[in-house]
Structure 1
Amino acid sequence: MVTALTLPLPAEATVRSLPANVEAEAAFLGAVLIDNRVIEELPTQLGAQHFFEPVHARIYERILHLLDRKAVVTPVTLRPYFEADESLKALGGVSYLARLTADGQGLLAPRELAEQIYDLALLRELISVGRGLVEGAMDTSESVEPMEQISQAEAALYKVAEGASGANEAKDFGQATRVAIQAIEKAFNSGGHISGKTTGLDSLNSKIGGLHDSDLIILAGRPGMGKTSLVTNIAYNAASRLQRDLADGITVEKSVGAATAFFSLEMSADQLATRILAEQSGISSEALRVGRISREDFQQLSFASQRLAELPLFIDDTPGLTIAALRTRARRLKRRHNIGLIVIDYLQLLQGSGRANDNRVNEISEISRGLKTLAKELSVPVIALSQLSRAVEQREDKRPMLSDLRESGSIEQDADMVWFVYREDYYARSVEPKEPTESDPPDVRAKWEEWRSLMERITGLSELIIAKQRHGATGKVRLRFEARITKFSDLAPEDMRATYGNDD
């Protein structure tokens, strides 16, 4: 049995009170009541939860509510809301509201007062996290997982660093509505088709409205379908759009682009970089790998690399990551680089916590839940690639279905969207008939001609099947795929009509 030593705490540690400055809170509230514009000039997002004195918290919350309704807030307009407040009676009743504005000292330095109130609130939150860490570390029962405790501790510290100490509190419907209106406004300003982060593909953006914060998107396909190519294109498009918007003076909040974190558990960072260079320079990946390029190609490649040097795309190619380690690294990237999109290639290469390793289905379930939790915690879209079972190959129609997701039904359950990549030319090429000679009978030549005609029509075309979408309808998006440079792009309208007619 494991025993723990009991260490005595210093005497002063048991009597020290939580860090707070009630006088600073009162002075700041007085400044706001004298001049409501003080709140508009605050350098920090000060909320009611940052006040130590509960009465001050309720007063500030009511002030924010009235200002949101475009009302002028003074001790007189606040009075009706606090006449029955029992806690305020202990401070002298509603006359306390007038006393807050008596000397007006808060107007001398309202920004500094707000910063102090905010900083002291973070210190109190740190103390709370520290207490939880101590209590957890003192638990020596066999059911305790130290690495899981470390992951939880980092998550708690991340919330403090982001000023999200009140993130787990229930939000009133007014707050939720404001967030929804902001998303609708972004979609309206973008021309009516993007309310989230852009994929860089107009046809896909129109279908899904962009990549939405807190969503887990599963992109699946059989080997050779191009799922890594597609997700690399999307990662580049989002990062490139943010870079372009910032250069044009558009803020991060108003941009539909995003700094992107790409966790590549299968390919190295330089292999991914080669793919992006091939796409942007128009030189095939194979030619780049073997160096079979001309001097003009090399110059074009050099120009492309210069353009991409400052791209906000961060690649982590650490192999064998656990879901806990991935979440830790993602939080760090969010804090340092404000990433707005996370890509994982691919889900089955992640490892669980170790508790579910005896059962692969349970481990995959833990990983998919962890990715969904990460998307919500960081409020960014997460795209995770996934393998499909071989059941696809046994069917005449090779188009994937939700039941083909490999190893766990929880992937489908946890995902907000499920996409499948399907390329008919991949399968048609594998059944190429022998090229006929002059001596072959007409039916052999006809069969080969039929195959050749089919290949001419479908080569370079792909389907992105939206098999699940919580926010909208399912369906298909037709795309062009240039295998030479591993690039997906929108089909031209004339190509769409020639290939698919009027079929949606």
Structure 2
Amino acid sequence: MNTFIRMDQAGATGEAAPQLPHNIEAEQQLLGALLSDNDLYDRAASVVRREHFFDPVHARIFEICAAQIQKRALASPVTLKTFLEHDEGLKALGGPSYLVTLAASAVAAYAVKDYAQMIYDLAIRRELMALGHDIAAQASDVNVDLEPADQIVDAEAKLYKLAEQGKTDSGFQSFLSAIRQAVDVANAAYQRDGGLAGVSTGLVDLDRKLGGLHRSDLLILAGRPSMGKTSLATNIAFNVAKAFREGKTYDGRDGAAEGGVVGFYSLEMSAEQLAARVLSEAAEVPSEQIRKGDMTEAEFRRFVEAAKALEKCPLYIDDTPALPIAQLAARARRQKRVHGLDLLIIDYLQLVRAPGNGDSRVNEVSAITQGLKAIAKELDIPVIALSQLSRQVESREDKRPQLSDLRESGSIEQDADVVMFVYREEYYKEREKPGDHQLDKMAEWQAAMEAVHGKAELIIGKQRHGPIGTVELAFEGRFTRFSDLARPWQERG
């Protein structure tokens, strides 16, 4: 009997409480099947848990069945009678004889998973109704400490969590299950060109070092001003979005077979400025000429063609300044739900607002990095966060950054899976130019400049999954573009 019951309690206004969807017969027949054949438990348990049963007596029966079966003991009307003999709820249904009635009404073995799915779906509907009631109650409680925007973020987080139920098992998993996942990832890496397990950055040498951008990883990209942090992040975002191709992921899900959908939080630059950088790289027109409109006819034609080619590029930009970490997470969830999301970039970490009253900047940054790592794990995507470096770099003779140069470095270094530093020696050499009258020093300086011109280093200071080291890249300042560095033997070939 498919039924909806009306709760006995009336609301404060005298109106009856809303009806809760459930199906008592489905619960009875599923439990009957388990009591008749314990081998069916795995099929049911892959979908339902005790809290999904509407009738509390049925929930207790399922829980005891599960406990018996998991310790390889028999779960039958006779064995369960011992545990439920004094259960008041069971007495109301007829006592231990009710267990015999359940076993007699068992559903066919092939239908167990379908009945379990029905029970699960009805439970989700009840949770949705309860969540809606909570949202309405919170909204009606006008509290000066609870902003409506915060209530929306909280409600969205709860809805997303509810939507993700059943997709991934949040509890312990067997080592065999973990091994299978590891083999799937390794197989995907083996099958893909370049042997990457993660999303390709579009930079061959960097991909070799990292193995691509891995799901659930937090990557920190740090550097001093003018080193090109934003340029490199923009290049990676463009490369990933440009390569996007829909298909099957390594674990058989529908998604990005190559490349991916990219979300870019630009907290410092406007969306228009960021788009101009991407177009500068794609059209090979200097960004300052784009800003001024100082282009030849051929350059403008390339610019327009590049813009048309990039119209369908799945790169989404949010340039809202000073976003709180909770809002950032909520928008990322919405982006994944509506358009998909395979890579998230934040430019930059210190501009994200943290919860609290700002009593300690170290605590604030710790909350932000923990929040970003939580987003990476929850959405199962790589997250790249740009970060500033402290000024102590400038006081050293060797200005290559290191982990201790990270601002509030303890929490950033601890929470990150990968920490990378952008370093361009050319930037510092330019500022060492001697006077025109110092001819001997000028020649030496020119030779040094020639050696470092158009080159950049990406220093990997930490990597959980692989080695640290340095990746050499080419940098074209006119187009704000990083690319693979051509080797002498490649140039000759």
TM-score normalized with structure 2 length: 0.78
Match of 2:307 among 305, 308, 314: 305
Q: Deviations over 1:91-147 (max 9, x none)?
A: 657993994229x8x59xx87x67644431321332554576689889999998886
Alignment-mate amino acid for residue 86 of structure 1: L
Q: CA deviation at 1:417?
A: 1.1
Distance 1:141 1:174, change over 3 A: farther
Contact 2:48–2:117 (Cα < 8 Å) also in 1: no
Contact 1:356–1:363 (Cα < 8 Å) also in 2: no
Alignment-mate amino acid for residue 47 of structure 2: G
Matched, 1:402 2:403: yes
Q: Deviations over 1:134-175 (max 9, x none)?
A: 898899999988866653432121111234587543434344
Alignment-mate amino acid for residue 434 of structure 1: G
Matched, 1:100 2:107: yes
Contact 1:419–1:465 (Cα < 8 Å) also in 2: yes
Structure 1: distance between partners of 2:153 and 2:489: 50
Structure 2: distance between partners of 1:416 and 1:148: 30
Alignment-mate amino acid for residue 490 of structure 1: D
Q: Deviations over 1:375-420 (max 9, x none)?
A: 1221211111111110000000000111111135211111111110
Matched, 1:472 2:476: no
Contact 1:125–1:165 (Cα < 8 Å) also in 2: no
- Name the counterpart of 1:179: 181
Structure 1: distance between partners of 2:135 and 2:262: 31
Distance 1:86 1:491, change over 3 A: farther
Q: CA deviation at 1:233?
A: 0.8
Structure 1 residues 452-491: aligned runs within 5 Å: 452-491=446-485
Matched, 1:331 2:333: yes
- Name the counterpart of 1:386: 387
Q: CA deviation at 1:455?
A: 1.4
Structure 1: distance between partners of 2:127 and 2:450: 64
Alignment-mate amino acid for residue 357 of structure 2: A
Distance 1:205 1:245, change over 3 A: farther
Contact 2:329–2:375 (Cα < 8 Å) also in 1: yes
Q: CA deviation at 1:434?
A: 2.4
Aligned length: 453
Contact 1:269–1:315 (Cα < 8 Å) also in 2: yes
Matched, 1:219 2:221: yes
Q: CA deviation at 1:225?
A: 0.4
Q: Deviations over 1:323-377 (max 9, x none)?
A: 1211111111111112111111011111122x23233222222222211122122
Matched, 1:155 2:157: yes
Contact 1:243–1:311 (Cα < 8 Å) also in 2: no
Distance 1:47 1:406, change over 3 A: same
Alignment-mate amino acid for residue 422 of structure 2: V
Q: CA deviation at 1:276?
A: 0.8
Distance 1:80 1:276, change over 3 A: same
Q: Which moved more, 1:114-123 or 1:135-144?
A: 135-144
Q: Which moved more, 1:445-454 or 1:488-497?
A: 488-497
Matched, 1:494 2:488: yes
Distance 1:425 1:12, change over 3 A: same
Distance 1:22 1:286, change over 3 A: same
- Name the counterpart of 1:69: none
Percent same amino acid at aligned positions? 45
Structure 2: distance between partners of 1:131 and 1:189: 49
Structure 2: distance between partners of 1:376 and 1:394: 38
TM-score normalized with structure 1 length: 0.77
Structure 1: distance between partners of 2:406 and 2:416: 12
Q: CA deviation at 1:280?
A: 1.0
Structure 1: 5+ residue stretches without partners: 1-6, 66-78, 437-443, 499-504
SS, match of residue 244 in structure 2: helix
Considering only aligned residues, what root-mean-square deviation do their CA atoms show, in Å? 4.1
Structure 2: distance between partners of 1:302 and 1:308: 10
Alignment-mate amino acid for residue 348 of structure 1: Q
Structure 1: distance between partners of 2:152 and 2:260: 29
Structure 1 residues 306-455: aligned runs within 5 Å: 306-353=308-355, 355-436=356-437, 444-455=438-449
Q: Deviations over 1:196-240 (max 9, x none)?
A: 222111111111111112211111100110000000111111112
- Name the counterpart of 2:206: 204
